[in-house]
Amino acid sequence: MVEVVGTAPTSAMVITKPVYRHSWKTNIINIKVVTRNSTSLFKMKLTKEQKQEIADQQSQKNVTKRVTSSELEKILFEAIPVLDYGFIRVVDYMGDDSSIVQSARVSYGKGTKKISTDEGLIKYLMRHWHTTPFEMCEIKYHVKLPIFIARQWIRHRTANVNEYSARYSILDKEFYLPEKENLSAQSTSNRQGRGDLITGTQADEVLQILKDDATRTYSNYEKMLNERFDGTIIDEKKTGLARELARMNLTLNSYTQWYWKTDLLNLLNFLFLRADSHAQYEIRVYAEAMLETVKKWVPMTHSAFLDYRVGAVNISSKGKKIIQLMVKGKKVTYESSGLSKREWNELMTTFEFEDKII
């Protein structure tokens, strides 16, 4: 298990200041992110030292006999912005599409088959749930994210994780504040979902509360530590509280960071759930950014994943029989289907039979 912001001594993550610490005296750089449907402009704050460190990492020239992904190499180490202060970075990886094919055939290596045959094999593996060959590829991300999203993320217990330790270091003075278009009320039909958008003065009030609470608790955090986020001492006559105790007062929208390493199979399982439209927005945007890195890393697998997982449907045996009867022109009603109301509506929604939803 990992700590909320650093509890176990063995999980302490010693992070150097230039790369990970945020300074309020930073330059704001505009980063253009192209999505499937639109081009969005994000503002992410990086210090000159952070930008230089990324540039140094990207300028490395290493000779290797192992397979590499040319498109992923182009963005290796790059900080891809997510939310207001968050990001993901691919910092390491092993294997590519050919590694999946090689392990499936238990062959000597590349060149034994045509590319088209390799693509067909990957599609076959994905289609028939032959999953172990996908475990032969691994990837490591550096992720900066709000603590409340980290706690949701860590439910996927199929990765190696090392988190920034607030027992060792002082957390950055950064808090996630949602945009107004993502400020929704509680859903009336789903206990863990969002409903209609909150607008007007109520939205302004909510955002002000979030900002005030985060700012106040961080100020008290510094006061208890007797140390500011930049390392300066507040009162030379006082002794600061231990960092492992002072952190308990922070709000869950504070940012943490971790290294997250997993194999391709478990990454796809994560993305299948978290890039889904029903996933919470704040974790979904991380998943969508990671999905784009998968496209650059293993394009054949990415295509098969979209076709046979993301774009596919999974129905029960009862649901299958109902669709078969409908295709034959038979009349099937909710009352005669043997399904619950929720099952019936989900099935009709899946096949876009909107007029049959009850």
Biggest CA–CA distance in the chain, Å, is: 85
Residue type, 241: L
Q: Around 261, how many Cα atoms within 13 Å sit in the side-chain half-sphere?
A: 11
- Per-position DSSP letters for 215-270, written without gaps between them: HHHHHHHHHHHTB-TTS-BS-TTSPPPPHHHHGGGS-TTBEEEEEEEEEHHHHHHH
Is 258 exposed, middle or buried, given 0-12, 13-18 or 19+ CB atoms closer than 10 A? buried
Tell how strand 160-163 and strand 255-263 pair up.
antiparallel
Per DSSP (E only), the strands in 120-174 are 138-146, 160-163
C-alpha span between 307 and 309 (Å, rounded): 6
Please list the helix, strand and coil fractions of the chain in percent, rounded to the nearest 5, in that order: 45, 15, 40
> Which of 21, 243, 247, 274 is an active site residue?
274
Active site residue 157: no
Residues with active-site annotation: 274
